[in-house]
Structure 1
Amino acid sequence: MVGIVEAQEWAAELDAVFARVAGRFGRADLRWRMRDYLRGLLAPVARKNGWQLAEYAGHRTPDGFQRLLNSSVWDADALRDDVREYVAGKLGAGGVLIIDDTGFIKKGSTSAGVGRQYTGTSGKIDNCQIGVFAAYTTSRGRALVDRELYLPKSWTGDRERCKAAKIPQAREFATKGELAKSMVTRCLAAGLPASWVTADEAYGQEWKFRRLLEELGVGYVVAVPKSQQVKSLAGFWRIDELIAQAPDDAWQRISCGDGAKGPRVYDWASARLPSISFFDGDEPTHHRWILARRSLTRPAEIAYYFAYAPVTCAITDLARVAGTRWAIEECFQAAKNECGLDEYEVRRYVGWYRHITLAMLAHAFLTGLAADEAAKGAAETNPPATSSLSPWQRSAGSWNICCPTTEHTDLVHQITH
């Protein structure tokens, strides 16, 4: 049961959130409508569609909420910036920025960006919209901080269809990777205190995405397919062929973080690639790595990664970052189940962004509450963000990559672009 004091604290925090974003809504009626909508998203409403949210708020019809999402004047991107700033303040610095996409199953063909495309939401090709998202996670919690709607070429190549869905004329086709690059650049430029970026292989295999992260000076651990090419002085090799050379003692049993059933333990192997130095004589500040994660119960199941990390990092640090990727899946699940992220009925482009951003704000509020509760007099129980191993210990567990036909010779020069 929630006590009176807790309920009062929660109400005060929600009022603080309303005050933080009130300036984004120029008229008093819009501010009150936004408050009602957000309260509905947070409420135990069976289905958070227009009618049920309106009924919960005491409105006779959902017309007011439809105007809030479709035709009223306010900037969803400015509200997104408020969400990101709020999350950073609650969760602190040194976290991981996670990129992934999720699907929104839809009927019909008029919702902006809808089409038959693969989505992990249903695990198949389905009629859906795809949203590309960024989440931020630290030891204090996790929350969504940015979003973009993916528009297939079937949309961007049909300007009349775009016009009907109120898609801006300037919006052209962009791959999911390009949308991810835009979000990462935006988040870091705005001061989100992320030290790392992680993503699944759909994003990790794009060399332009990895190059951008290096240029921005942020570390990354990104998944890549087993067929990913690595360039060596002896030619090109698949990453799975190189990892297959790892001796038995190169594999270390490491937890990459706690899950629902306790520590998530795997066998990990890593190989550090040659140092990165942009000028002759400069000491490198970062190293590139390849990394592999092997299941304990099903050793044939191996996941592969590229990494870019400060020279002081060890395999334990890389495994920890790789293990944070699941946090965005938890964000999707919580935001959909608790905040109606996927229960919108809008069809227009602007309506999608407005509903999604308000749902992100609702989820950020819940994350902030949980972070505040956990911080109340709790002893620090999470491991530090950086390893305390000595320099010689940091090199343990990495191994020199050799050509499959050559022993004891480091041939790897760089990851292919």
Structure 2
Amino acid sequence: EEGHRPKWTLAVEMLDELAEQGLRPPVLVADAGYGDNGQFRAALDERDIAYSVQLKGEALAHTSEAVPAVREWSGTGRCGRRPADTPVYPDEPVSLARHVAAAGREAALTVTWREGSKGALSSQFVFLRVRPAGHRVPRDLDDGILPERWLIAQWPDDEPEPVTYWLSSLPADTSHTDLIRYAKIRWRIEHDYRELKTGLGLDHFEGRSWQGWHRHVTLVTAAHLFLTLLRADPKAAAPA
């Protein structure tokens, strides 16, 4: 947190500032520090920003087939009052880990998402449609239905249980390969950050003024953009 404000609110403010400049991410990716926060995911939904975020297997969800219903009134409610006619899910949600365990290892599919320095990168994944639950997850105002999302679990053949979980708001017809490509694209962020620090001197600044730091970061970012454009240019000569 910065002061008394959660980090996720600062991230949302940055997205709003980008939107004011006419910019928006095609898909937002985040680690479990953000993905576990239902308020953060709800803020992305409110802004119609698609996401693929990592989270822990303890997070709760209903199956995609679960349907809320209005509770019947027995006349013995607290203080004799009739409960509000708000649809609720009759069954309690269960953890993402339990959803994947119920599907079983036989549901896992092998997906290759990109070429690495030592060959193709592939692993086994379970893909399910679920409805994430929690009091901070907004529901449809008319029927109380929770939004449907992709639950993705990486479950390698040599592991006794899944090693990573993601939730994604990408459309239901998104291919498995694309789902994994977006889920795994955080490697690019880590790669770029490492290049900024070790190759371009992001961490070499030793001054104390905001203006000096701002200029240093701007120059480093411009250098990184130049290198990225060179790498992306199909006409650029191959390195020796």
- Same fold, TM-score > 0.5, yes or no: yes
Please tell me the residue identity of whatever aligns with 1:328.
I
| 1:245–1:262 Cα change, 3 Å | same
1:208 correspondence with 2:39: yes
Fraction of identical pairs, as percent: 30
Gapped runs of 5+ residues in structure 2? 64-88, 132-137
Deviates more, 1:353-362 or 1:211-220: 353-362
Q: Deviations over 1:346-382 (max 9, x none)?
A: 224444333223211221111112112x35699xxxx
1:362 correspondence with 2:223: yes
1:259 correspondence with 2:116: yes
| 1:321–1:189 Cα change, 3 Å | farther
1:190 aligns to what?
21
1:327 aligns to what?
188
1:267, 1:294 within 8 Å by CA — same for their partners in 2? yes
- Trace 1:63-74 onto structure 2 (pairs within 5 A): none
1:219 correspondence with 2:76: no
SS at match of 1:342: helix
Q: Aligned to 1:247, which of 77, 99, 104?
A: 104
SS at match of 2:26: strand
Offset at residue 240 of structure 1 (A): 1.1
In structure 1, C-alpha distance between the alignment counterparts of 2:57 and 2:170, rounded to whole Å: 21
SS at match of 2:120: strand
1:178 correspondence with 2:35: no
| 1:302–1:214 Cα change, 3 Å | same
| 1:338–1:180 Cα change, 3 Å | same
SS at match of 1:310: coil
In structure 2, C-alpha distance between the alignment counterparts of 1:196 and 1:260, rounded to whole Å: 25
The TM-score with structure 1 as length reference comes to 0.44
1:352 correspondence with 2:209: no
- Trace 1:102-181 onto structure 2 (pairs within 5 A): 151=2, 153=3, 173-181=4-12
| 1:260–1:186 Cα change, 3 Å | farther
Offset at residue 242 of structure 1 (A): 1.5
| 1:228–1:215 Cα change, 3 Å | same
User: How large is the Cα RMSD of the aligned pairs?
Assistant: 2.9
In structure 2, C-alpha distance between the alignment counterparts of 1:311 and 1:188, rounded to whole Å: 26
Gapped runs of 5+ residues in structure 1? 1-149, 154-172, 379-417
